[in-house]
Amino acid sequence: MVEPLKVGLAGLGTVGGSVARLLQKQESNASESNILATRCGRPIRLVAASAKTKGELDALGLDGVRFVDSPSGLARDPEIEAFVELMGGEGDPAKSAIEAALAAGKSVVTANKALLARHGVALAAAAEKAGVSLNFEAAVGGAIPVVKTLREGFAGNSFDRVYGILNGTCNYILSRMESEKLSFGDCLREAQRLGYAEADPTFDVEGFDTAQKIAILASLAFGVQVDPDAVYVEGISSITPEDLEAAAELGYRIKLLGVAVRTESGIEQRVHPTMVPLDRPLARVMGVTNAVTIEPAGFPPITLVGPGAGGAATASAVVADLADIARGVRTMPFGRPVSQLAGSRRAPMQRHEGGYYIRLAAVDRPGTFATIAKHLADEHISLESIVQRRRNGEPHGGSDPDRTQTPAPVILVTYATSEDAVRKALSEIKNRGVIAGNPQVIRIEKN
């Protein structure tokens, strides 16, 4: 009789509950239908769990799973061989519990990108020292095996760029705002109800979750230390239905992208709403689905698409990580020894080059356009298109009696230029008093 891999699970919420149910379902199958046991050569058995309350375990109705009050106590529990952390948060109790498990020589699986982005290097060093696994496929791209693909599938390749839609909540919100014309707030509440959003959804909508994920992918792809502070971050909270509509008219769709790219001055890591041409694979990825495009050097790009958030999608990746531990497969967490990871630095966004979508509220008086054109020309910015949009409720031709007071929305699309030039030109234009409020600026990713 083969010994099962005995697992302790801390966190029984959206993801932890799904993992517990999945493991129990496999164990309750007749041995020939327990595909996990068949594939791993041994069953994977949940033996103990921890959560804020024992009621969470009772509510799952699992057989024979012990409740342990303290996550760190569970991590050190002599019965368990592998510890799964699904509580979340970049500090304790998640951090101390994982440290306790590694120090006790137990392999760890986590979906906690916040913790990995902040302390991944130290935790990987602890796993290396203990000779155990620290697996985190669920932390990036949900069920998409992107960690495995970068770390193992391309072990012999270097990379030019890795980028993608890495936050299911944001993609869900942008998709529903566009297709159902729902408000930002309604879409966010729905994403929370469906279990996609973080406990604090600011992490999703302000881009921090995507930043943590791209920092992890940058480490795997480019061998830099994971560092969320090295990532330039902008979220989607300023995107309006007007931007989504204008994007579609111009042949784009707005996506929150995480991008890690090799440049002459180092590895640029950035997260921001992006205009993606409608004919690109990422533009067609809608709802909670995630997608990652990997560009190995000298190779055509490869795009992986799949469910990026929610209990079932995330549990699938957690269980796959446990399967590796059950099989005795151990890989260095970031694909190379921690001592070989290089220091990272914040992306110099001023040097970023590309096209820009700029939406201005132009004050309706003579000379406004000449002033805007002059300051763009001063910074050598050429325009691909200019679209003057109607004010809300105003028919074409402009019958608004207050039109001299109401600023008119103007959309500019630039040819490739630098971030620095755009920022300088817009600052001058604002100082001249020809626009109301702050311009909306969205970067265009054409290549």
Ligand X SMILES: N[C@@H](CCO)C(=O)O
CB nearer to ligand X: pick between 256 and 435: 256
Give the C-alpha separation, 362 to 375, whole Å: 14
Rank residues 71 and 141 by Cβ distance to Na ion and give the closer one.
141
Near ligand NAD by CB under 6 A: residue from 9, 20, 23, 87: 87
321 scored as a contact of Na ion (CB under 5 A)? no
The yes or no reply on residue 111 touching ligand NAD (CB under 6 A) is: yes
Q: In terms of DSSP bridges, do strands 44-50 and 5-10 run parallel, antiparallel, or are they unpaired?
A: parallel
CA dihedral of residues 255, 258, 260, 266 (deg, nearest 10): 100
Q: How are beta strands 159-165 and 252-263 bridged, if at all?
A: antiparallel
Stretch that binds ligand NAD, among 74-82, 192-200, 272-280, 296-304 (CB under 6 A): 192-200
The residue with its CB nearest to ligand NAD is 13
Long-range contacts of 66-70 (CB under 8 A, 24+ apart): 68/8
Distances (CA, A) of 128 to 6, 57, 105, 151, 338: 21, 32, 10, 16, 8
CB of 84 to ligand NAD, least distance (A): 10
Choosing from 196, 208, 222, 356, the residue that interacts with ligand NAD (CB under 6 A) is 196
Whole-number Å distance between alpha carbons of 228 and 218: 10
The stretch among 129-137, 259-267, 335-343, 358-366 that binds Na ion (CB under 5 A) is 129-137
Q: Smallest distance, Å, CB 21 to ligand NAD?
A: 13
Distance CA 408, CA 392 (A): 9
**Is 12 near ligand NAD (CB under 6 A)?**
yes
Question: Closest separation between CB of residue 320 and Na ion, Å?
Answer: 9
Q: Counting contacts by CB under 6 A, is residue 258 touching ligand NAD?
A: no
Pick the closer one to ligand X by CB: 266 or 308.
308
Beta bridge partners of 314: none
Q: Is 56 in the site for ligand NAD (CB under 6 A)?
A: yes
Question: From ligand NAD, ligand X, Na ion, none, which one binds at residue 4 (CB under 5 to 8 Å depending on kind)?
Answer: none
Structure tokens at 27: 């164990």
6 is an active site residue: no
Of 409, 421, 414, 410, give the one whose Cα is nearest residue 385: 414
The smaller minimum CB distance to Na ion, of residues 203 and 252, is found at: 203
Nearer to ligand X, 37 or 94 (CB): 94
Q: For the residues of 372-416, what is the DSSP string, one character each?
A: HHHHHHHTTPPEEEEEEPPPTTPPTT---TTTTTSPEEEEEEE-S
Distance from C-alpha of 126 to C-alpha of 116, rounded to nearest angstrom: 13
The answer to whether 340 and 333 are in contact (CB under 8 A) is no
> Binding residue for Na ion (CB under 5 A) from 141, 195, 207, 308?
141
- Among 169, 139, 193, 163, CA closest to 267: 163
Candidate residues 4, 13, 73, 348; the one interacting with ligand NAD per rule CB under 6 A: 13
- Binding-site residues for NADPH, in ranges, read 113
Q: Tell me which residues touch ligand X (CB under 6 A).
A: 142, 167-169, 196-198, 204, 209, 308-309
Least Å distance between CB 142 and Na ion?
A: 6
Which residue of the set 6, 95, 106, 213 is catalytic?
213
Handedness of CA 71, 77, 80, 82 (dihedral sign): positive
Applying CB under 6 A, the residues found at the interface with ligand NAD are: 11-16, 50-52, 56, 71, 86-88, 93, 111-112, 138, 142, 195-196, 198-199, 309-310, 314
Q: Which residues are tagged catalytic?
A: 213
